[in-house]
Amino acid sequence: MRRIITFGTFDVLHVGHIRILNRARSHGDHLTVGLSSDELNLNKKGRCPVYPYQSRLELLTSLRFVDDVFKEESLELKREYILQHKADVLVMGNDWEGKFDEFKDICDVVYLPRTPSISTTEIIEIIKEVHT
């Protein structure tokens, strides 16, 4: 059994999210997602998520290629989370290329190409423009 872990906010779920989760799962047999808490997202991106944690959780847990979701409370705890969830592979989008190489002592670290031309930030901007 090869266990995969990935992290993110997955706010305003879009096709880039679906593709990376699906591809992450195909690297093993079990996918755990560390889903950023609302507070963590506020610190990280300077805004509250559009969808609160419970809604993001419900969306992710309904995907057939997501096996488990837990709340990521702190960016400083990645090593602990990887160990706790017994992950063999950490998968991240290549916007994080090289940023998680420090965990190569406890798991494989794989960066997958992002889907071009879509992001939660861009969707929010487009919706704002339409309404101004």
**Contacts with ligand CTP, residue ranges (CB under 6 A):** 8-10, 16-17, 20, 45, 92-93, 95, 114-115, 118-121
Contacts of 7 (CB under 8 A, 6+ apart): 33, 34, 35, 36, 72, 78, 81, 92
CB closer to ligand CTP out of 3 and 56: 56
- 16's tokens: 């880039």
CB closer to ligand CTP out of 13 and 88: 13
- To ligand CTP, the closest distance from the beta carbon of 11 in angstroms equals 6
CB 44 within 8 A of CB 76: no
- To ligand CTP, the closest distance from the beta carbon of 77 in angstroms equals 17
